[in-house]
Amino acid sequence: MRITQLQISDLRLFADLSLRLAPGINFITGANGAGKTSLLEAMHLLGYGRSFRGGSRDTLIRHGRERLQVFARWQTETGERRTGLTRSDSDWQAKLDGQRLPTLGELHRACAVICFEPGSHELLAGAAEQRRRYLDWALFHVEPDFLSAWRRYQRALRQRNSLLRASARNTAEYLPWEQEMASTAHRIDVLREQQLSRSASAATPLLSFFLAELGEPDWRYRRGWSKTHDFADLLASNRERDLRLGYSFSGPHRADWQLRFENLPEAAPLSRGQEKLAALACVLAQVDVLKLAGHEAPLVLLDDLASELDREHQARVWRQLRESGVQVVATGTERPPSLPGEWVDALFHVERQGDTATLKPHPGVSA
């Protein structure tokens, strides 16, 4: 997909903005705090319904206003699509090609977005939840039955945890939820392990390009419970322990994966720069994962890529993005020297005046 036009109303510092994007690399400059990251947030909302910066969704709405709106047009291989997203009264409403959507999930499936920002290195070093979310995002787009299995498992997990917190002792109360957890856990586990294999295949060439000095990558998957036990039997045998804990200790909700390297000692951590490049390779691998599954390439958002990367590695990243042919929207206080001017298809500049931000073509660049 390639967004051709983006319109924003009352999102953070932007009262009203219309932006035409180029199909290749779009770069947005501006001082810190000017509002350039908010433009990425607007596009991120189309793919996730939330900001990548966290915090309350209501803080996205411009101060003193009651709602925010994001409209977009984008090109696919089969033609143009249109969407509108509105946040008001603590609720989201979305339209796709003129039709009201009952859930945001339909919009997120149609508008695939991947994002890399300063906190994204936590994909490898942070909590396991982020690594599960990485696999689940791709599965949401490429495996039609994943979302149903995941929702069924989560519902059963919530019900079992509620019984555990209430110190329920009646086995009959647990059985239907444990049976549902067991019946869906296997499917989730199989899909996640397959997805890690696909992601690893797509990420390995990027890791070799970005971090050749580390040698071959080694991907390790942990499903969240012992491979030697049937999950239903494990839930039953661990019920007393889980009652003491007040939650279900084992299951797909505890799954994780790890990335290690041939030339890195087992206990040695990656440097901050290596961690960031490895995480970036994993994120960009999602482009090929979707394309190989017959889907449109996602929109790529990059917030302050130059942070903590030396110029040589920055240049490798820009080269890879340029050659991939994906649409990129990136930000920085200025266009980095590692990004040749002829590779930039559109250059914009954000300026802030008080509580308002404006966007215009970069000085010296035609509209």
Sequential DSSP letters for 257-276: EEEEETTS-TTPPPPHHHHH
- The whole-number pLDDT of residue 367 equals 40
> What is the C-alpha to C-alpha distance for residues 363 and 352, in angstroms, rounded to an integer?
15
Q: What pLDDT does residue 306 have?
A: 84
In angstroms, the CA 185 to CA 190 distance is 9
Q: Looking at residue 31, what DSSP letter applies?
A: -
**Contact (Cβ atoms closer than 8 angstroms) between residue 328 and residue 24:** yes
Residues of the chain with CATH 1.20.1050.90: 127-293
Architecture of domain 127-293 in this structure = Up-down Bundle (1.20)
Residue 100: count of CB within 10 angstroms of its CB: 9
Cβ–Cβ < 8 Å for 302, 329: yes
In the chain, list all ranges with CATH 3.40.50.300: 1-112+296-367
| Amino acid 62: pLDDT | 87
Structure tokens at 33: 């705090």
Q: Which residues contact 251 (CB under 8 A, 6 or more apart)?
A: 153, 157, 181, 185, 224, 225, 231, 235
Q: How far is CA 349 from the centre of its chain?
A: 25
Run of H or E residues at 348: strand 344-353
Rounded Cα–Cα distance for residues 178 and 172 (Å): 10
- Residue reference for tokens 């917190």: 165
The CATH classification number of 1-112+296-367 equals 3.40.50.300
Q: What confidence score (pLDDT) does residue 56 get?
A: 61
pLDDT at 57: 67
pLDDT means per 10 residues in the chain (367 residues)? 94 92 95 91 92 76 90 92 89 93 92 92 93 97 95 98 96 96 96 97 96 95 92 95 97 96 88 92 96 94 87 93 95 93 94 88 55
Q: What is the pLDDT of residue 298?
A: 96
